[in-house]
């Protein structure tokens, strides 16, 4: 595939843009977060499974090489992508994918958390349709940056990045906090695992991933169909306050709306009585999700013994009402600010009114 002369420079340029993004955006991560992302990127480059580890000395040398590269290119502008004798803006994904479609390739680009630019190129495994929405299952990724994003929506498509999803899901299980372990063990049992040991998780990983893929798909459907949190206002908020508690709150509320709406993640889990999916969902809640949506774990504690789905439905409905109110409050503070040029004052009001009570609860 990469031997095609029409793709060689295209691929090299995407890789360069990935490196530029990582060089400029690496500072948004904590030391531990950066170490995890570097390790996953190294595993992906080496073709390892998520549970395989590189030789420590080789990993250190690889990281040193990356950091030297980043020092040389930090601050550079992203290059246009040359493709079949034309050049494309690296964020013009619609036009680029029209060219790539006959080659069974899909190109992704956008802005993720803290507005870090992200790019990838992957092969298309299959395309499905659900409620008229095209769902593209991507297999082997040819190029990617530091971010391990399992799913996203782009240009009306829902994209499932299976390579990235494998690393993302494995890391979630391995680094899960103690408070989530009982929910995870329930989910693994529902997936048919004989026990919760790492070896069993490796053996049954495809089964575990297939459950989570449905969660990823219906979360993205929930986002696409959300009418509560205006998409343009959301983009303005995260653009004004990147890498702050305000951005974290906006993204968490947006995710909770997608999960608790009548067409979102939890409604699908409930309608299909997917107990494994519910267990994983409860296990992987963290950050502001926990104080925003305590009803889910509380309901699950009883569900584990009585399998009462009506209890989970009641929790979903309450979670949606909470998310809707937070979205409305956040939008009101942001849009009604008398002077948006004083961003610090707006951020402080949002923090004191909405974020701080959650942290202190």
State whether 15 and 150 are in the same domain: yes
Nearest partner of 346 among 229, 230, 249, 231, judged by Cα: 249
Burial (CB count within 10 angstroms: exposed 0-12, middle 13-18, buried 19+), residue 113 = middle
**182-196 tens-digit pLDDT:** 999 999 999 999 999
Domain edge (last residue) among 146, 165, 184? 165
Residue 170 in any domain: the answer is no
State whether 200 and 273 are in the same domain: yes
State whether 121 and 260 are in the same domain: no
Residue 345 in any domain: the answer is yes
Residue 90: CB atoms within 10 Å: 22
Average pLDDT of the chain? 95
State whether 205 and 351 are in the same domain: yes
Extract the residue ranges of the chain whose pLDDT is less than 70. Answer: 1-4, 340
Residue 260: CB atoms within 10 Å: 25
What is the pLDDT at residue 224?
Answer: 96
Domain count for the chain, please give it.
2
E-strand ranges in the chain read 81-83, 86-88, 105-111, 117-130, 133-144, 151-154, 157-161
pTM of the full structure: 0.94
**288-321 tens-digit pLDDT:** 999 999 999 999 999 999 999 999 999 999 999 9
State whether 44 and 147 are in the same domain: yes
Residue 299 in any domain: the answer is yes
State whether 120 and 18 are in the same domain: yes
State whether 66 and 137 are in the same domain: yes
Domain edge (last residue) among 165, 200, 219? 165
**107-128 tens-digit pLDDT:** 999 999 989 999 999 999 999 9
State whether 44 and 67 are in the same domain: yes
Residue 116 in any domain: the answer is yes
Give the integer Cα–Cα distance in Å for 228 and 261: 10
3-class DSSP assignment, residue 23: helix
State whether 107 and 21 are in the same domain: yes
Residue 133 in any domain: the answer is yes
Domain limits at 248? 176-360
Domain edge (last residue) among 165, 197, 225? 165
What is the pLDDT at residue 4?
Answer: 67
State whether 186 and 322 are in the same domain: yes
State whether 264 and 294 are in the same domain: yes
Give the integer Cα–Cα distance in Å for 19 and 9: 15
State whether 199 and 153 are in the same domain: no
Give the integer Cα–Cα distance in Å for 116 and 162: 21
């Amino acid at each position: 595939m990469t031997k095609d002369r029409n793709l060689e420079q295209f691929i090299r340029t995407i890789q360069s843009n990935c490196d530029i993004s990582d060089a400029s955006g690496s500072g948004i991560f904590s030391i531990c977060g950066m170490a995890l992302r570097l390790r996953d990127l190294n595993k992906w480059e080496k073709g390892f499974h998520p549970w395989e580890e590189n030789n420590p000395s080789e990993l250190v040398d690889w990281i040193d090489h990356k950091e030297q590269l980043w020092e040389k290119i930090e601050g550079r502008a992203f290059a246009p992508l040359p493709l079949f004798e034309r050049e494309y803006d690296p964020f013009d994904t619609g036009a680029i994918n029209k060219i790539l479609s006959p080659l069974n390739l899909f190109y992704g680009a956008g802005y993720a958390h803290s507005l870090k630019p992200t790019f990838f190129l992957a092969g298309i495994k299959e395309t499905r349709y659900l409620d008229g929405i095209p769902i593209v299952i991507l297999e082997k990724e040819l190029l990617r940056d530091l971010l391990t994003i399992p799913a996203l929506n782009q240009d009306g498509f829902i994209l499932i990045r299976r390579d990235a999803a494998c690393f993302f899901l494995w890391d979630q299980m391995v680094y899960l906090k103690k408070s989530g372990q009982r929910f995870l063990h329930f989910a693994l049992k529902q997936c048919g695992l004989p026990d919760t040991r790492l070896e069993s998780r490796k053996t049954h990983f495809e089964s575990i991933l297939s459950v989570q893929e449905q969660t990823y798909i219906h979360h993205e459907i929930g986002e696409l169909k959300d009418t509560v949190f205006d998409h343009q206002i959301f983009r303005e908020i995260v653009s004004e306050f990147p890498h702050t508690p305000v951005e974290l709150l906006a993204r968490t509320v947006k995710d909770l709306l997608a999960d608790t709406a009548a067409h979102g993640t939890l409604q699908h889990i409930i309608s299909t009585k997917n107990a494994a999916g519910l267990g994983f969902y409860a296990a992987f809640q963290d950050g502001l999700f926990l104080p925003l949506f305590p009803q889910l774990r509380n309901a699950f504690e009883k569900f584990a013994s009585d399998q009462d789905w009506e209890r989970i439905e009641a929790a979903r409905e309450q979670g949606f009402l909470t998310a809707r109110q937070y979205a409305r409050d956040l939008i009101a503070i942001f849009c009604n600010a008398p002077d948006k040029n004083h961003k610090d004052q707006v951020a402080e009001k949002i923090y004191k009114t909405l974020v701080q009570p959650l942290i202190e609860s």
